Structure 1
């Protein structure tokens, strides 16, 4: 009788839960009620993301950790702080709340950063969310420890590998879900790691001298900022042609090359000014361009961007223009 009582006594404070295997059944108890493994893992992932921001570029590891960091961890630690008890909500509800709260919290943090001196940058977002996760983890652990041990949240992972005990329909569903899950994760990893993925494009824009998209010059002299953004998956060589053409012709008839756009450029009707520009992928090149001309009439100042150095007979890849009157 004493031996039986010894076998069923509750775990002591110093004992560690052990994985129990019965046939093809496996139970993995996590002692969250005594040791905050979940909060430790959350902060470890948070720290790994902050390190990855500064050490890894376009790595699948960085993307996967980043998704967990943004879409799960903020909501999870918030839910753990709000509901430290196992009785209020179950783990399905915790998962749903973690996702929903994360979607709400991250934009709010971004909004606060937008009005701060730090601004919205990858590094500021990473540090801010990391600090939020750490602070809420401390609060969650404190509130959890204030409850009696039997009321604290806990998690036990139950795995049953013996599918023969299930009906045929359940077996088919289980296998299908596993296959779909593996395929989804595989496709996600491939999409993230595959070079050249995503849309490739180039942006061409004009700003006024104050770097705003308004109050452009309309007379026979002025200054604009020509902005070229490269998202082609690689560093790209462009040729930018700026031509002053008559309203009725639209085309330039001659072309001269220049090393840069600096200084005032005296424009002749029908003449194009060409300059070669190399833009690093993911970056912008902003060049100030000042013009003047003496001819009277209505003219179109065309900014033609070619995605190559040799432009004879080629169609422009991007174009913007200004209407000018003298």
Structure 2
């Protein structure tokens, strides 16, 4: 029981100091799938005669699978919720508390159970000597299946599949909030937004941001978007960002943000489109004499952005004379 207490506290230290270590993953597997059931069973049945070794082993795994979800369910109704730290603290308290109870009950037991198993003990409990060849073969297959299952589970837990790859792309108002966007301007008046990017692609990515000034309408008769004017705005940029793991425990923090100030030199209802491309930007046709790309293939970029095939953001701006 003292070993269980020590290993539980060691895991707490590993998660704090070495969160990506293999030791943390291996010990965490036992911490969740074995320790809770083991200390619970030992506290309930401290006498050797009450359960044999195989029953204790099976019940330790089985009860752990039952206890941990119940603790998680209880945490779900608390202000802390189902998060790493509350789960870690709750399971540590559970393991330590029932370990101390088990130590006390063992000290009062007439013939306490001590977790020391030899090959001879296993053979005796399996009635190995008196078993038929078929029973021995089935027992061996069962033991191999159990060991294989535990090994497979350990591998899956210690080598988790990478999460979904995605990129956060957002614009904020000049105060850094999702509010007070410059949507009502006069001709030539400056408006400022904050462009933000966060890389969760599991690799380094070079991002290219294009900014377009677009005037378009929706044709109800044909259910199509008609782009009347489309001009590139100054301030296109690219930036290379490393991968940032998704952190669901702590507060969200930005990775890359930049202020973007623009002005529009003609009145009307406009849309400012921010298009995000990874690794390389698309090829653009030659610039038209008047700078209006609406009659070129570049308009397909806006159509794709509207359809959601290009990661994009849009800001509706009403420009007064």
Same fold at TM > 0.5? yes
- For 2:171 and 2:43, the matched residues in 1 are separated by 48
Change (3 A) 1:250 1:108: farther
The alpha carbon displacement at 1:45 in A equals: 1.9
Contact 1:245 1:302 in 2 (8 A): no
Q: Where does residue 255 of structure 2 map in the other structure?
A: 285
Q: Where does residue 304 of structure 1 map in the other structure?
A: 276
Q: Where does residue 238 of structure 1 map in the other structure?
A: 206
TM-score normalised by L of structure 2: 0.60
**Structure 1 gap ranges (5+):** 1-38, 255-267
2:141 equivalent to 1:170: no
The alpha carbon displacement at 1:121 in A equals: 5.3
2:170 equivalent to 1:206: yes
Q: SS state of the match for residue 255, structure 2?
A: strand
Task: Identify the range of structure 1 (242-251 vs 293-302) with the bigger mean alpha-carbon deviation.
Answer: 242-251
TM-score normalised by L of structure 1: 0.60
Instruction: List per-residue Cα deviations over 1:260-300 (Å, max 9, x = no partner).
Output: xxxxxxxx3xx562231312442661425444433522415
Q: SS state of the match for residue 173, structure 1?
A: helix
For 1:1-326, list aligned pairs within 5 A: 39-81=1-43, 91=56, 92-106=58-72, 108-109=74-75, 112=78, 114=80, 120=83, 126=88, 129-145=91-107, 147-150=108-111, 157=117, 158-160=121-123, 165-188=130-153, 190-191=155-156, 197-199=161-163, 201-206=165-170, 208=172, 217=181, 219-220=183-184, 221=191, 223-224=193-194, 226-232=196-202, 234=203, 236-246=204-214, 247=216, 248-249=226-227, 254=232, 268=233, 273-282=236-245, 285-294=255-264, 295=266, 296-306=268-278, 308=279, 310-313=280-283, 319-326=311-318
Name the Cα RMSD after superposition. 4.4
Contact 1:49 1:62 in 2 (8 A): yes
Contact 2:35 2:60 in 1 (8 A): no
Contact 1:242 1:303 in 2 (8 A): yes
Q: SS state of the match for residue 297, structure 1?
A: strand
Contact 1:240 1:274 in 2 (8 A): yes
* Number of residue pairs the alignment of both structures matches: 261
Task: Identify the range of structure 1 (154-163 vs 172-181) with the bigger mean alpha-carbon deviation.
Answer: 154-163
The alpha carbon displacement at 1:243 in A equals: 1.6
